[in-house]
Amino acid sequence: MNLLELAKSAALAAGRLQRENFSQKISIRHKGEIDLVTEIDLASERLISDILALSGLPILGEEEVKTKPQGTYWLVDPLDGTTNYAHGFPWFAPSIALMQDKIPLLGVVYHVMMDELFWAEKGQGAFLNGRPLKVSAQESLSQALLATGFPYNVHDQPEPVVGAFRAFLVRAQGIRRAGAAALDLAYVACGRLDGFWEILLKPWDTAAGVLLVREAKGQVSDFLGQPYDPFVPHIVASNGKIHAEMISIASSYTP
């Protein structure tokens, strides 16, 4: 099986597990004050790792599977949207990227409850259930629908998050906070959103979704407009047309 098909089968298998256990009684523990992990996050990561292990490549996962982020390796968020999952809010996704050092080569994001499989291959385009994706054509921030997320340290350091949120709120047409960064990026790629920003993300939150946006002809950078680096925690992704306007706002809130 080629590596893209392997990543798709791992995302679909984790998605099945997540769907079967959705809204069931599951064990949940705290990694931080508002940062949760459920038994399904852990079981999903094991399932995905077992499947990806067939490639012989090392895996860096959010929860338990750790390798050095060097060379060619898999980067895995087994369940992006854990807070949603724990509350029975049907908005979450496994997110899997194949990396070459800091560059995503493959990306798969599975919107489980909508049965929407997003994937992208570097230089080969982005797809949703087999249909090619293109970002939106919106040229004006004042007519744009944006998304963002709030980091787990927001109780301690709300200022940059609230500041950026306020600044975008008074400029954009609308803002959504659905709770899964990988899906926010997938939604930019397919044109349902025009842009996305967030302050404290991890590489497994962004890598697969970033490739989706790039391959759908969108643009991704950090808050200062510098090229995407999975280990820089702040990110702006857009259809490209509103990127400069978004950076002009985000750059004042660089953490």
Which stretches of the chain bind ligand IPD, using CB under 6 A? 77, 80-83, 149-151, 179-181, 198, 201, 205
79 to 118, contacts with Ca ion by CB under 5 A? 79-80
Pairing of strands 103-111, 116-121: antiparallel
Q: Residue 81: name its binding partner from Ca ion, ligand IPD, none (Cβ under 5 to 8 Å by kind).
A: ligand IPD
**Please, what is the minimum distance in Å from the beta carbon of residue 77 to Ca ion?**
4
Q: In whole angstroms, what is the distance from residue 206 CA to residue 80 CA?
A: 10
Q: Residue 215: name its binding partner from Ca ion, ligand IPD, none (Cβ under 5 to 8 Å by kind).
A: none
Which of 4, 3, 38, 238 has the alpha carbon at shortest distance from 117?
A: 4
Q: Residue 45: name its binding partner from Ca ion, ligand IPD, none (Cβ under 5 to 8 Å by kind).
A: none
117, 133 Cβ separation under 8 angstroms: no
Q: Residue 121: name its binding partner from ligand IPD, Ca ion, none (Cβ under 5 to 8 Å by kind).
A: none
Work out whether 215 is an interface residue with Ca ion (CB under 5 A). no
Work out whether 205 is an interface residue with Ca ion (CB under 5 A). yes
Between the CA of residue 10 and those of 58, 66, 117, 182, 233, what are the distances in Å? 15, 17, 12, 16, 26
Listed ranges 17-25, 56-64, 146-154, 187-195: which one lies at the site for Ca ion (CB under 5 A): 56-64
CA angle 175, 120, 55 (to 5 degrees): 130
